Amino acid sequence: MHRIFFSFFTPSVLAILFVLPVNVVFARAFNNDFETGDLTDWEKEGIAFDFQPTWGDNPTARDRGQPSQHQGDWWLGLFEKYPGEEKAKALGVNPGATQGDGPQGTLTSIEFKIIGTSMNFLIGGGTHPWDDDPAPCCVNLVINDTVERTATGNNTESMSRKEWDVSDLKGKVAQLVVVDNNGGGWGHPNFDDVHQADADGENIPWDRVLAVDARGKLAVSWAQMKKCY
């Protein structure tokens, strides 16, 4: 076992680990659109996110007349209670099931570095702004515990794409926080498919964003290590 370990860490590989400003973590994608079918890369508090993400166009399944306009199969719909067929069977619910506006909580993403000039995302649900409502429902961009950007829905289940200019925040470490602090009418946000984009408006792959970790160091990949031996 000792010989195998030593042969793997050749001098050229050690050069990567100790000479270059890298971390022994591997670049990966971020669960930016909830297509894992769960809350991987996000941490929840409270009960609002217990049955999230939502699968499919649940507002249409309950004849709401406001299609979700989500991307892929999964999204955050905080009024909904349909987390896919398998989990729904265990809960005894069918498509169109809801949890209502009562449950509250927050959902916080992993840290990431801002390398783009803008961020875009799908958002819907209620209009309860962070700055103007004592019980907000919104999505915030948070840096050092300060809300730098915030957005709400427009009192419709149908999500639309919004954009933040984050050019002045480049290089900073941020997190996204989905906030559901309202139990009244339209007391829920909907959210999906968040991206950073470059100056040309092209979305930046999340594995590229996360190739630079929260401390600004390049993450080691297997490809980098293989090039050195």
With a CB cutoff of 8 Å and minimum separation 6, the contacts of 107 are 39, 42, 43, 44, 45, 48, 49, 52, 76, 177, 178
Q: How far apart are CA 31 and CA 206, in angstroms?
A: 9
Instruction: Report the candidate in 190, 44, 189, 187 with the shortest Cα–Cα distance to residue 102.
Output: 187
**Where is 201: in which H helix or E strand?**
none
Token pair 């166009």 in the structure block, residue: 57
* Global pTM value: 0.82
Of residues 5 and 56, the one with the higher pLDDT is 56
Instruction: Report the candidate in 196, 187, 191, 202 with the shortest Cα–Cα distance to residue 30.
Output: 196
Residue 211 confidence (pLDDT)? 87
The tens digit of pLDDT for each residue in 50-97 reads 999 999 999 999 999 999 999 999 999 999 999 999 999 999 999 999
On the question of pLDDT at 2 being above 70, the answer is: no
On the question of pLDDT at 17 being above 90, the answer is: no
CATH 2.60.120-classified regions of the chain: 28-210
The CATH number of 28-210 is 2.60.120
CB 125 within 8 A of CB 188: yes
On the question of pLDDT at 228 being above 90, the answer is: no
On the question of pLDDT at 20 being above 60, the answer is: no
On the question of pLDDT at 120 being above 80, the answer is: yes
The tens digit of pLDDT for each residue in 159-185 reads 999 999 999 999 999 999 999 999 999
CB 211 within 8 A of CB 196: no
Residue 225 confidence (pLDDT)? 37
